[in-house]
Amino acid sequence: MQINHKKIAIIGGGPGGLTLARLLQLKGANVKVYERDMNKDARVQGAPLDMHEESGLAALIKANLLTEFKNNFMPGADKTLILNDQAEIFFSDHENNIKEDFGNEHFRPEIDRGVLRKILLDSLEPETVVWNSHFISMEPQNESWLLHFKDGLSMYADLVIGSDGANSKIRPYLTDIKPFYSGITMLEGNVYDSEKSVPKMHSLINGGKIMAFGNEKNILMGQKGGGDLGFYVSFKTHENWAKESGIDFSDRTDVLNWFKKEYPEWSNIWDELFEKAATPFIPRPIYCSPLDQSWKTISNLTIIGDAAHVMPPFAGEGANMAMLDALELSESLTSDEYSSLEEAILNYELKMRKRAASAAKDSLENGEKMHSADSLNTMLEFFNGTY
């Protein structure tokens, strides 16, 4: 095993980084996770994640965490409604989507991000995660790295793995290739206690998710753990829309006025989302790594998840790809098949880039379909199996 007696530093404590730490510790590796959050409760986690059998669930099974997942996932949260801009239902699987069928490749159980994070954190050895560790820079020290953090902490590591998201500070040490703007921006909103705050929408979503299409725009939403509801207004625009729009994203009225102006054909049933959402709303321009990206493998540094291959969210692959990265990298690093650490990392990176490019291509294509003039019919054909 090429990582025997080596100190491993994982930068970033998202699903990918924590899964990797768990898998490596099961093999006896010496690993620390450096996370910029002050503590495990520092921020609210995002929308629920749907786990795929061949990626996220495969990693959880290898990590011996499937039982914990089954005890904590959100039954029924994968139920889907497809609506038009008038909130008229064109597709529903609420009646036939009642079986929790683990082992079925089409079953994609959902779990709240915060709950998944807790499961992964609880599985790690004490003090594995070093909180309040905001990575600043690192420099080579013989065959190791000297890492520097914002609070003045400096640490040595024989192997550094970047799991620090789309704006990774580790990635530039491997490559200067940057993600490109997809042409789509999403405006994120969250409604707390949706049953009381937005009763019409809460009743309609019924614990599942909604995809609404109209006029080359859409609204996507899902029920979150704890009774909250998250939604995304998704549309095509230029890359700097958020900065140049003049919208005060901390002002519900300002955002609602924008919505009414830009979504004029849409029913006013959607208005309550904006009237009751927590502030600020969060604009998210959607980026994607080049499908043909490549870099020279080195023996003491690699990246996983969005740090390696940020992609649009229109295929639900982000967290799943990160957790599959963790699984495949852990297997390469702990295998006796390779003669060097560089060879082990090369094996992982070649496979990772190939499958990530395929997933990103699908995500880009889905994004175009979802924002096309015929998006409603296209998505109905997809969900009805006639596409």
From first to last of the 387 residues of the chain, give the pLDDT tens digit.
678 889 999 999 999 999 999 999 999 999 999 999 988 877 655 678 889 999 999 999 999 999 999 999 988 888 899 999 999 999 998 877 556 677 776 778 889 888 999 999 999 999 999 999 999 999 999 899 999 999 888 999 999 999 999 999 999 999 999 999 999 999 999 999 999 999 999 999 988 899 999 999 999 999 887 889 999 999 999 999 999 999 999 999 999 999 999 999 999 999 999 999 999 999 999 999 999 999 999 999 999 999 999 999 998 788 999 999 999 999 999 999 999 999 999 999 999 999 999 999 999 999 999 999 999 999 999 888 765
**Rounded CA separation 202/223 (Å):** 8
Place of tokens 């395929």: 358
For residues 127-147, one letter each, b for 16 or more C-beta atoms within 10 angstroms of the residue's C-beta and e for the rest, the string is: ebbeeebebeebeeeeebbeb
List Cβ neighbours of 208 (8 Å cut-off, separation of 6 or more): 76, 77, 78, 79, 80, 81, 94, 97, 222, 223
pLDDT at 333: 96
pLDDT at 291: 96
Candidate CATH numbers 3.50.50.60, 3.90.1150.10, 1.10.20.60, 1.10.8.640; the one for domain 7-45+123-178+291-365: 3.50.50.60
Confirm or deny that 113 is annotated as ligand binding: yes
pLDDT at 170: 98
pLDDT at 48: 80
**3-state SS string over 307-343?**
HHHCCCCCCCCHHHHHHHHHHHHHHHHCCCCCCCHHH
Confirm or deny that 171 is annotated as ligand binding: no
Confirm or deny that 252 is annotated as ligand binding: no
**Rounded CA separation 97/79 (Å):** 6
Of 164, 70, 168, nearest to 110 by C-alpha is: 70
List Cβ neighbours of 97 (8 Å cut-off, separation of 6 or more): 76, 78, 79, 80, 208
**Rounded CA separation 348/326 (Å):** 10
**DSSP state for residue 220 in the 8-state scheme:** E
C-beta separation of 19 from 120 below 8 A: yes
Q: Return residue ranges of the chain for CATH 3.50.50.60.
A: 7-45+123-178+291-365
pLDDT at 99: 64
Reduced to 3 states, what is the DSSP secondary structure of residue 147?
strand
Confirm or deny that 271 is annotated as ligand binding: no
Q: How far is the first Cα of the chain from the last one, in angstroms, to the nearest whole number?
A: 47
**DSSP state for residue 313 in the 8-state scheme:** S
Reduced to 3 states, what is the DSSP secondary structure of residue 137?
strand
CB-CB neighbours of 354 under 10 Å: 9
Reduced to 3 states, what is the DSSP secondary structure of residue 163?
coil
Greatest extent of the chain over all pairs of C-alpha atoms, in Å: 64
Q: Return residue ranges of the chain for CATH 3.30.9.30.
A: 180-288
From the number of C-beta atoms within 10 Å of its C-beta (0-12, 13-18, 19+), residue 266 rates as buried
**Level-2 CATH architecture, domain 180-288:** 2-Layer Sandwich (3.30)
Q: How far from chain centre, in Å, is Cα 223? A: 16
